[in-house]
Structure 1
Amino acid sequence: MREAGAWYAGGVTQMHATIESVLDPHTDALVGEWLTLKEVAARLDVKHSRIKQLLAERKLLAVRREGQLMVPAAFIRNGQVIKGLSGTLTVLSDSGFDDVETLRWLFTADDTLPGTPVQALSENRGTEVRRRAQALAF
């Protein structure tokens, strides 16, 4: 994995293909259901290139699993990326979380929400989730 703020010479799609966190079995189990990028494109009714753009803009998060980039199915609801995901991804990234740490945090139960942060996002409680994510930076 590259250091935060380090310069990268490759294109965006090359960057996502080569700079990735290693998905551990615990986080894999927390997430549960995964979608390929092709499946995400179908659920969002967009072209594959749009999914790559969403990944590059950190509006969506994918990790390499079983040899291909995959997205947690919970990030897609009613044909859209769940509201508040992008802002939460940004806050966690700014706090120094890598992609796997971000997934682990999003899919780990938090009694103060209640439920998991990703469940709270899907229930339109993004402000609560981002507050907790921002508190991690301190």
Structure 2
Amino acid sequence: MKPSKSVSSVLDASAILAYLGRESGFERVQAALRAGAAVSTVNLSEAMGKVVEAGFDPVQIASRLTALGLIPHDFTQADALTVAQLRLQTRSLGLALGDRACMALGRRLGLPVLTADRIWQRGSFGVRVVLIS
């Protein structure tokens, strides 16, 4: 998917879920959405999987998020290689493929990543990490 709007940050699935659930830090995510926020299609899939588990329609929720300013970015071969390079660095922290996909997109776009996962602060991943709460 080719983005047509400028973006100011990248959202992790945890940030999207915090926004949808009106959890701590959702206001920061809301502001990011209004400014235009990127999301890797990997993280969008992760978040929409949780939406399905909660009994909601992922198509409707994704459309709503897109209308608010969420801009999905395809997971590229370059992202895949960045994710692979981050594997050893993130394994001891228990970070998953989705976490690394978010970091890879943040690196590629040169933007900070917003997350609810505090563990991300325990490493240096070549991207600025912003906790939403």
Structure with greater proportional helix content: 2
The interval holding the TM-score normalised by the smaller chain is under 0.3
TM-score (normalised: structure 2) = 0.28
Larger-Rg structure? 1
TM-score (normalised: structure 1) = 0.27
